[in-house]
Structure 1
Amino acid sequence: MNARIGLLTRAAATVTALGVTFSGALVLAAAPAQAQRYVTPYGFEGSAFGTRVVSGDAGLRSGRSAWSPLGCTKEAGVTRGNKVASVQESPQIDIGAVTSTNTTYRRAKRGVVGVRGVNRIADVTLRGSDGAALALTGLATRTHVWRRDGARRFGASTDFSSSDVSVTVAEDTPVEGPLGDLVQGAQDGIDGVLAALQENGGRIAIPGLGVVRQGSAYTIERAGIGVASGYMLRVTLTDGTEVQIGRSWSKMVRDLPAGPMGGGATAVEIDALAGIVQSGRIATQPLPCEGTHGKVRRSPLAGADPGNADALVVDGARASAYGVQRSTGAARGWTEATITRAALGDGAVVLGAVTGRANVSQSADGRVRVNAAGTTIGSLTVNGTERAIPRDARSFAIPGGTARVEVNLVERTRRSIRVTAARVTLFEGTAGEISVRLGTAKALIRRK
């Protein structure tokens, strides 16, 4: 057995999770009854979810519980929803039922169109040492953006609510100062908690549990765009794990002469990683509904070594997006994900200069073209020896049976394309399986 492979096999059996287990009993909500659809002059977008956990060690994020995304559309009467019965993140984190919905609507008699996002969480309990805890019940985050006939600007609103909040402190902990404000504020529910946080610089420590921070809430009400964004709370536990609670986001834009755009890029998507994580993304950048007005948007440059176990080491990960729409109805957009170097299995498999790129364009007469030009892999090294990537193969096995590599994975429709530069799977079907997508990009232009 190769020394590097043997090292990883042993590591897979002994490495513990990053303080969280990304899991949950997923129950998709029954498809809601759709209202009659109506094509508007506006583009709608939205997203809502209950919780997300970010590892303090690696910066990897768990899946968003009950995530309900609303891709850009010009249609009113569209509803998207999702629901989970419960989520068991770790012994420290218990999350009850979560429900999320996004709805676009038209009220013809009132002369108004809009989009609403709602996230509801039955309960969240975070536990620390010596009995310290934060418990929240009946949480709701709501966002709403609308436009009235003849109005010069969009309207937008964000609000939070709860039925109960309790803060339990460890024995012999003085309840005074900011902590006292938090305990007192909890008696008034989430409004009291947020008020206490605002009065104390946006963060209050609970000894033995961690630091509670206010999330964010803002609205944009302009002639060309309306946005409502709400993030209820962020709690950083003592081990560095961050728990994000209660998210909803709604957006409307006008002037989409080419139609709604969409997609995005992710440098690294982890499906399974040697018992350390089961989901996670590194470096992402979306392509907005209206495009980027001809400017390139880039994510921060990122690197990671989840669990410090050398199962996956990533350097120079970045995602970018570009989109422009013309008054003629012509448009062009692309998304791109790049990685300078990705080493899997303690360096057993190394890929260099990986780029995944998705391109989409539309002519003034409505013809759409998509392609994956620019998708490349600069190098492949196996056990220290550089190997050529077969030109005529989309999938090939690494000699010795330790890994399978798939390259240039492309899914396309008439108006969209999704590209993955490489997908690497080590120890397939075993407890130590590693499955990672490198350089994933998607771009699209919808009719409505």
Structure 2
Amino acid sequence: MSIDTKSDGGRARARGMGLAAVRGLALALISLPGAVLCFVLSLVSLALIPIGVGIVTTPWVLTGVRTFADWRRVLAAEWGGVRIPPAYRPLPKGANPWTRTFGMLRDPATWRDLLWLPVDMTAGFITALLPAVLLFYPLEGFAIAAGLWRVLPDGYWYGFVPVTGQASAFGAGALGVVILFFAHFLTTPLLQAHFRLTGAVLGSNQGELTERVRVLTETRRDAVDTSAAELRRIERDLHDGAQARLVAMGMDLGTIEMLLDKDPAKAKQLVAQARRSSADALSELRDLVRGIHPPVLAERGLGDAVRALALRLPVASEVNVELTGRAEAPVESAAYFAVSEVLTNAVKHAGADRIWIDLHHTNSMLQITVTDNGRGGAVIGAGSGLAGIERRLGTFDGVLAVSSPAGGPTMVTMELPCALS
């Protein structure tokens, strides 16, 4: 058993070495021309700004640089586990070339990209190429020791070993063994060093913090606007609903007081009418309270509240809840109303006849997925219910993702960072 385990571990390490070497070689051969091209075009375009040509070309060139940098961010995350978040400032839509050019040039992330290009052409190229060199260069030493030295020109050197005969060829083979030994330990770390170098130049905590402040400012403004709209809705519902019924009840009771002695039968009818009005007012108040904060949510938590929502749906639904505790009340409320809005959209617009709802909590993140078998085509856009859900979740640093190809199915995923009590 132990021998098999060691053998499996050795094969896994060999595969890891080979993969790191191939990836490093691909990076070196593909990214070097790309970095050189982006750097040269950027310098030329910036130099042409004073004569006006660069005003038109610079946004396109810098957009290409950003695309190239974003591609390297993806590779750093997928191949090296190094996350390099972009921190570009947003540009106004439909801006003219002048605004776009100087908007990009005022962005510190643009200058980080331009600084990274020469670093990637030099130190980045070397750290990407070294894993392949360490793994493949020993093969030449082994070939020399096996007899390749006979066809090599006079004065040929393998590393620091001059190859003049069979003895020196064995020395080249020995050097290849030494290099392969070091490759065993250094191949993968060198590729990691390449991605960490990329992250050190491209990444910026300050830029990330600035973007974070901007997002929080927007979500706070959206939260204030949403709260104001909600207060206006509550005021309107109270004025047009329960308040009007209570005023009518007061008038009926005044009339009853006058008719008690003169017309008891009529007074009795008005009493019955006032009783119905009070029941209707109480029902409207309960609906209003349920719209503000459902009692089942406060008493039994998010899981049971979502189950109650599903029971009221006119289509078949399946709810799966894996929550070991309760989140804070504001988070539960945001999640509840977000799910409610998604379900309403699915029933009204998707034409679905079955809905699946999944709630679970992993890695300090409340994850909610709502899937329907409707017609699909849902998008997050201005004026849509999904945009409102995104703003609601953004108040709590949550995110919304929608997968809805034409013909369905539609999957809406919501994530909210929170801890369960």
TM-score normalised by the chain length of structure 2: 0.23
Answer 1 or 2: which has greater strand percent: 1
Q: Tell me: higher relative CO, structure 1 or 2? Use CA pairs within 8 A at least 6 residues apart.
A: 1
Answer 1 or 2: which has greater helix percent: 2
Quick check: which has more Rg, 1 or 2?
Answer: 2
TM-score normalised by the chain length of structure 1: 0.22
